Structure 1
Amino acid sequence: MTDQDCVFCKIVAGELPSTKVRETERVLAFRDINPKAPTHVMVIPKDHYANVAELSRSDPALAGELLAAAADVADDDGVSEDGWRLLANSGRNAGQEVFHVHLHVFGGKPLGPMLAV
């Protein structure tokens, strides 16, 4: 399933460019175009799910595949030993801008506090 207006669906379809770092049958990981850390990779399901809740309720196995892919990205980028952050925004108040579930993998430098309040 896809959403024709979704930027991530367009990346999956090859309609928009990306720098892929990992791909499986159901998951795609690519470098963020505006990185906030030396490692900043987006991990997405190839099928369109609006947010984490929708994905986890519809396909919990795929949610697990996303987590595994994020860990693999951290290993591949060499940030596992020093630590890395996984971020999933779900909904407007959380800061979600693209309504296709995605995980951000950050690493490669000290990341500071979890929330700036």
Structure 2
Amino acid sequence: MNCKNIFMKIIKKKIKSKIIYQNKKVTAFEDIEPKSPIHILIVPNKIIKSTNKINKKNKHIIGTMTYVAIKIAKKLNFYKDGYRIVINCNKHGGQTIPHLHMHLLGGKILGNFC
């Protein structure tokens, strides 16, 4: 696996990070620049550069990431109050690291987005 990418370094534990959840397919860890009291990133353990790279072979990963987000929200007990799941895609979408990642945000009223 390519360890030049910061997410891959976290997945491989080459950079210390608070990992919340990890299995063979995904890793979830706290964002180092949180935008809410709870801000967790969920990433595939294999590099998929963006949602534009989702295809027939890897489409299951979005479901796995979403399932893990819900599991974490329940485990950390903020699922009843609510949360937001966000995936940014490419530069105009706000994606800054070329590795698919899902933001799980909660712990406060986030307000309307659209």
Identify whether the pair has TM-score above 0.5, normalized to the shorter chain. yes
Count of residue correspondences: 114
Q: Is contact 1:39–1:77 with CA below 8 Å preserved after alignment?
A: no
Partner of 1:43: 42
Write the deviation string for residues 57-87 of structure 1: whole angstroms up to 9, x where unpaired. 4411222111101111111121110110001
Given that 1:45 and 1:66 are in contact with CA atoms closer than 8 Å, whether structure 2 keeps it comes out as yes
Which sections of structure 1, spanning at least 5 residues, go unmatched?
Answer: none
**1:49-60, aligned counterparts within 5 Å?**
49-60=48-59
Q: Percent of counterpart pairs with the same letter?
A: 27
Instruction: Point out the more displaced range, 43-52 or 58-67.
Output: 58-67
Map 1:86-101 onto structure 2 (within 5 A).
86-101=85-100
The aligned counterpart of 1:85 is: 84
- Report the Cα distance in structure 1 between the residues aligned to 2:62 and 2:55, rounded to whole angstroms: 6
Query: TM-score, normalized by length of structure 1?
Result: 0.90
The 2-side partners of 1:4 and 1:52 are apart by 20
TM normalised by structure 2 equals 0.92
CA-based RMSD:
1.4
One-letter amino acid of the counterpart of residue 47, structure 1: K
* Cα separation, 1, equivalents of 2:52 and 2:63: 13
Q: Which residue of 2 aligns with 1:104?
A: 103
Which deviates the most, 102-111 or 73-82? Answer: 73-82
Instruction: Give 1:65's aligned residue.
Output: 64
2:54 match: secondary structure: helix
Partners of 2:27 and 2:95 lie apart in 1 by 19
In the alignment, what sits opposite 1:23?
A: 22
Structure 2 unaligned runs (5+)? none
